């Protein structure tokens, strides 16, 4: 940075004089304009306020000597000294601005100052005299307010200017994704965007998650004749939200020296995995710019002692076709301690969110989705935790996921276009994650009382047993058995639970006595019988889909306020994004007949729609062999072997066939793979007996989102069902190729079998056809459909 002491030759003096001449035209406003110029210098980091003022004082003292003042403190009154400082301050402002900032920026600052002096309705108020694409946010917001306050006849004349201002503000503050902008410009006003600005800390966009929630709120609160008698404004809320701009992420990296890690995404996967634990610790302990810390401290003072959740809000999260579900961190902050303790917890949580941008799972996902070259800056969304305070716990009465299109028809009566829900009691983590031997309630909104399960025994088996709550005494998020939390006095108990009497399940008609020998069974039966709720959630999903011109999914919590004759429901929106959907074949033709010797599998459970031609390899984990492994470490290593095969078979078509639930958090219920272990597979077949944890529509979980985006078909196969079949004779007698593919993992050959299909079937390949309309999926041997499929070698 050139200092004022350096020579002004080389054309710089001309630039300084040019600024002085321009500002001379505004003798009254020049003071305000120069103040804006100084703020521009400070914000851009060209010079700090302290350094600037120190130079002003030094130059002022030097000027006193040049003017012959031998004893300046005695010879110059305070008023003259202040006048001298003001003159020198203006000179330095002109100098630094001329040297470091384009001339067009001065024009913008002048226009901004002039705009604030114009009264609405004047000639100047209807004239746009600057380029919105280059204008600062404050000027755009101010001009937008002026236009929106004009009488309707004058506003018509400037509507095109207002539209451009709103578009530029959306691109600058929320998202520059054109699909998003095309929707958002129809519903946001300049005043809406100004309100967002007031809740934003730092600079930069607020990220996709935050942008999606705010857009959904505006859509739902916009009156629409199709809402009918539903007053959505009385039922829809967004939690109290604040935003940390994405540019703060760069500042954080800069002051901590983390810029060296920005290229982690180009390292090998093994390097990313090895380095991440250390980097995560560094990020969590990282320092923040002092002005950001000060604003966060003020925010906590304003919010008070109420629990918070710090959520990632990636700029990538508004990309249609890339949900990034569960790839970045969200962190609960109890916010119940002393002010400094709460602040440090908040800063660590933000650092943890930042660290998740370089986590192995996030970077691998971006590589596979073609997003690795994108400049991923992470914004942060800070929200008050919504829920009911019950005993010493805080949790939502109901939480879950909603989808405007239902991909699974477990009954012919189900209409896809009416949508789909996954519901839990407590925080929605159990609705979006595939957790152990625990199940959310799955709901087809066309027939909300029609379950995938039949009979009371299956209803018990596929019900929620644990709930995630915030323990206010322990100041921690905990997972506890439902019976330890819910008692007969829980206000929403009758809407979320039923009485399990052992021989039968009945509704809760009155508050149960404390000595009752019944236990609660989470069914949501009463909630799903309430037409008011069903109509409300259907309309929310359908309206969002109509505005987005694309299916959507949402995350939400629900407050239930029971009353004598009816309930009042408040839906708190936590997320809204375009629904990732698979490009389906127009028609899937099932073969007229398949020789029994050529049939590899058949299922009718939750069948998707599509075709997987010419599968060369079947990676098969036999249930008995997996069950015989008692070591937890060995079972984890089986998942890692699957992961190494996934990378080895990158260029080959293969499927995974295994016991229970792929990706389950309970290692005894299935192989605990992650996205990194399976992303090259074409299908995941989950084989169960009737008594095991079996077909559960995992649609809505982050794991299922990964399958959709990677083009992987999930297929449950229940051997106890009449139409469930797996050709274990073929799979067991085939030669195991594991030793040839991964010699170092040969010891795991009993648990992981790799079958080269054409080598075992005289050149035929595995053909998979899935017809969701007929609920039939077949895997059978046939000659290849694709020319030269053998070129797909590991």
Task: Measure the CA–CA gap between 578 and 320, rounded to whole angstroms.
Answer: 6
Confidence of residue 732 (pLDDT cuts 50, 70, 90): very high
pLDDT score recorded for residue 111: 81
pLDDT score recorded for residue 774: 83
User: Which of 84, 108, 132 marks a domain boundary?
Assistant: 108
**Strand blocks (E) in 207-299:** 236-237, 241-244
- 425 lies in the same domain as 526: yes
- With a CB cutoff of 8 Å and minimum separation 6, the contacts of 742 are 641, 644, 645, 648
Instruction: Provide the residue count of the chain.
Output: 794
Task: Measure the CA–CA gap between 606 and 591, rounded to whole angstroms.
Answer: 20
pLDDT score recorded for residue 383: 97
pLDDT score recorded for residue 410: 73
- 745 lies in the same domain as 627: yes
Give me 295's structure tokens. Answer: 């604003």
**What CATH number is associated with residue 337?**
3.30.1490.20
In order of 120, 133, 169, 190, the CA distances from 144 in angstroms are 11, 14, 10, 5
Express each pLDDT in 518-537 by its tens digit.
588 999 999 999 999 999 99
Express each pLDDT in 79-99 by its tens digit.
888 898 999 999 999 999 988
DSSP annotation string for 69-124 = -SSHHHHS-HHHHHHHHHHHHHHHHHHHHHHHS-HHHHHHHHHHHHHHHSPTTSTG
Of 5-19, 192-206, 214-228, 669-683, least confident by mean pLDDT is: 5-19
Give me 650's structure tokens. Answer: 């990158």
- 782 lies in the same domain as 700: yes
Domain holding 786, by residue range, is 596-791
What 3-state DSSP class applies to 684? Answer: strand
Instruction: Go through 545-573 and write b for each residue having 16 or more CB atoms within 10 A of its CB, e for each that does not.
Output: bebbebbbbbbbbbbbeeeeeebebebbb
- 621 lies in the same domain as 489: no
- 410 lies in the same domain as 376: no
**Burial of 354 per CB tally in 10 Å (0-12, 13-18, 19+):** buried
Within a domain: 231: no
pLDDT score recorded for residue 315: 85
Q: Are 398 and 225 in contact (CB under 8 A)?
A: no
Within a domain: 183: no
pLDDT score recorded for residue 92: 93
Mean pLDDT of the chain: 86
User: Which of 355, 385, 415 marks a domain boundary?
Assistant: 385
For residue 698, pLDDT beyond 80: no
Give me 252's structure tokens. Answer: 């954080």
Looking at the structure of the chain, the number of domains it has is: 4
For residue 585, pLDDT beyond 50: no
Query: Structure pTM?
Result: 0.75
Phi-psi group of 121: left, alpha or beta (phi > 0 → left; psi -120 to 50 → alpha; rest → beta): left
Within a domain: 445: yes
What 3-state DSSP class applies to 2? Answer: coil
pLDDT score recorded for residue 544: 96
Express each pLDDT in 177-188 by its tens digit.
898 999 999 999
Within a domain: 138: no
DSSP annotation string for 749-768 = TTT-EEEEHHHHTTT-EEEE
Within a domain: 332: yes
- 665 lies in the same domain as 626: yes
- With a CB cutoff of 8 Å and minimum separation 6, the contacts of 362 are 324, 327, 328, 356
Task: Measure the CA–CA gap between 468 and 396, rounded to whole angstroms.
Answer: 10
Instruction: Go through 85-100 and write b for each residue having 16 or more CB atoms within 10 A of its CB, e for each that does not.
Output: beebbbbbbbbbbbbe
What 3-state DSSP class applies to 788? Answer: coil
**What CATH number is associated with residue 404?**
3.30.470.20
Within a domain: 680: yes
Q: How far apart are the first and last CA of the chain?
A: 56
- 749 lies in the same domain as 622: yes
pLDDT score recorded for residue 10: 40
Q: Are 395 and 470 in contact (CB under 8 A)?
A: yes
- 282 lies in the same domain as 376: yes
Strand 308-314 to 378-384 pairing: antiparallel
- 374 lies in the same domain as 423: no
User: Which of 333, 363, 385 marks a domain boundary?
Assistant: 385
For residue 9, pLDDT beyond 50: no
For residue 692, pLDDT beyond 50: no
- With a CB cutoff of 8 Å and minimum separation 6, the contacts of 291 are none
**Burial of 5 per CB tally in 10 Å (0-12, 13-18, 19+):** exposed
Express each pLDDT in 749-761 by its tens digit.
999 999 999 999 9
Give the distance, in angstroms, between the CA of residue 551 and the centroid of all CA atoms in the same chain.
16
Express each pLDDT in 343-383 by its tens digit.
999 999 999 999 999 998 888 878 777 788 887 789 999 99
Average pLDDT of 229-236? 92
Within a domain: 774: yes
- 250 lies in the same domain as 358: yes
- 474 lies in the same domain as 622: no
- 381 lies in the same domain as 408: no
Within a domain: 624: yes
Express each pLDDT in 312-353 by its tens digit.
998 887 654 555 667 788 999 999 999 999 999 999 999 999
Helix 12-24 vs helix 30-43: crossing angle, to nearest 10: 140
């Amino acid at each position: 940075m050139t200092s004022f002491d350096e020579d002004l030759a080389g054309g710089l003096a001309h630039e300084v004089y040019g600024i002085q001449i321009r500002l001379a035209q505004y003798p009254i406003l020049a003071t305000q304009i120069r103040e804006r110029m100084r703020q521009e210098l400070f914000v851009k980091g060209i010079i700090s306020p302290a350094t600037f003022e120190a130079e002003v004082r030094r130059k002022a003292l030097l000027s006193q000597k040049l003017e012959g003042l031998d004893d300046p403190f005695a010879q110059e009154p305070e008023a003259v000294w202040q006048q001298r400082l003001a003159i020198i301050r203006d000179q330095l402002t002109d100098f630094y601005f001329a040297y470091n900032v384009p001339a067009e920026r001065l024009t913008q600052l002048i226009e901004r100052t002039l705009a604030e002096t114009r009264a609405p309705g004047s000639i100047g108020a209807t004239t746009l005299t600057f380029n919105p694409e280059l204008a600062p946010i404050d000027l755009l917001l101010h001009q937008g307010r002026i236009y929106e306050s004009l009488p309707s006849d004058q506003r018509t004349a400037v509507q095109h200017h207002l539209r451009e201002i709103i578009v530029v503000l959306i691109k600058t503050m929320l998202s520059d994704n054109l699909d998003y902008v095309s929707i958002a410009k129809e519903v946001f006003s300049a005043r809406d965007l100004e309100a967002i600005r007031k809740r934003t800390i730092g600079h930069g966009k607020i990220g996709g998650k935050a942008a999606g929630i705010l857009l959904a709120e505006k859509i739902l609160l916009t009156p629409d004749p199709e809402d009918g008698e539903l007053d959505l404004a009385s039922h829809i809320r967004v939690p109290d939200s604040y935003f940390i701009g994405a540019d703060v992420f760069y500042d954080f990296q800069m002051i901590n020296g983390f810029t060296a890690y920005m290229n982690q995404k180009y390292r090998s996967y093994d390097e990313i995995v090895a380095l991440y634990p250390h980097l995560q610790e560094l990020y969590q302990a990282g320092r923040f710019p002092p002005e950001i810390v000060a604003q966060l401290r003020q925010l906590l003072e304003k919010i008070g002692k109420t629990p918070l959740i710090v959520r990632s809000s990636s700029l990538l999260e508004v990309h249609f076709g890339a949900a990034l579900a569960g790839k970045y961190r969200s962190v609960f902050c109890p916010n119940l301690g002393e002010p400094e303790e709460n602040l440090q917890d908040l800063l660590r949580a933000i650092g943890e969110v930042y660290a998740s941008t370089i986590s192995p799972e996030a970077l691998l996902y971006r590589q596979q989705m073609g997003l690795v070259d994108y400049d991923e800056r992470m914004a942060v969304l800070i929200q008050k935790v919504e829920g009911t305070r019950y005993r010493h716990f805080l949790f939502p009465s109901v939480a879950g996921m909603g989808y405007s299109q239902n991909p699974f028809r477990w009954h012919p009566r189900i209409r896809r276009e009416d949508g789909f829900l996954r519901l839990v009691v407590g925080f929605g983590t159990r609705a979006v994650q595939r957790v152990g031997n625990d199940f959310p309630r799955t709901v087809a909104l066309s027939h909300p009382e029609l379950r995938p399960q039949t009979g009371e025994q299956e209803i018990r088996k596929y019900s929620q047993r644990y709930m995630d709550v915030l323990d206010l005494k322990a100041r921690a998020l905990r997972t506890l058995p439902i019976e330890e939390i819910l008692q007969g006095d829980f206000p929403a108990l009758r809407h979320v639970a039923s009485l399990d009497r052992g021989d039968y399940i009945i509704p809760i008609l009155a508050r149960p006595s404390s000595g009752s020998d019944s236990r609660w069974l989470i069914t949501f039966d009463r909630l799903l019988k309430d037409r008011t709720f069903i109509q409300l959630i259907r309309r929310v999903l359908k309206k969002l889909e109509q505005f987005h011109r694309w299916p959507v999914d949402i995350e939400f919590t629900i407050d239930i306020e029971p009353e004598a004759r009816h309930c009042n429901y408040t839906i708190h929106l936590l997320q809204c994004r375009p629904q990732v959907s698979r490009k389906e074949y127009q028609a899937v033709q099932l073969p007229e007949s398949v020789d029994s010797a050529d049939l590899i599998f058949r299922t009718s459970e939750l069948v998707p729609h599509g075709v997987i031609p010419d599968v060369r390899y079947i990676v098969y984990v036999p249930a008995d062999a997996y069950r015989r492994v008692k070591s937890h470490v060995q079972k984890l290593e089986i998942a890692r072997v699957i992961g190494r095969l996934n990378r080895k078979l990158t260029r080959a078509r293969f499927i995974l066939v295994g016991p229970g639930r792929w990706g389950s958090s309970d290692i005894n219920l299935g192989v605990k793979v992650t996205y990194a272990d399976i992303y090259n597979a074409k299908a995941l077949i989950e084989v169960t007996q009737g008594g095991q944890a079996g077909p559960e529509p995992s649609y809505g979980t982050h794991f299922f989102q990964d399958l959709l985006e990677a083009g992987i078909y999930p297929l449950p196969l229940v051997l106890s069902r009449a139409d469930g079949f797996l050709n274990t004779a073929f799979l067991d007698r085939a030669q195991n190729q594991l030793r040839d593919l991964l010699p170092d993992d040969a010891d795991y050959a009993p648990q992981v079998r790799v079958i080269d299909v054409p080598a075992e079937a005289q050149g035929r390949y595995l053909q998979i056809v899935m017809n969701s309309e007929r609920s039939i999926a077949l895997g059978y041997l046939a000659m290849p459909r694709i020319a030269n499929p053998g070129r797909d070698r590991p």
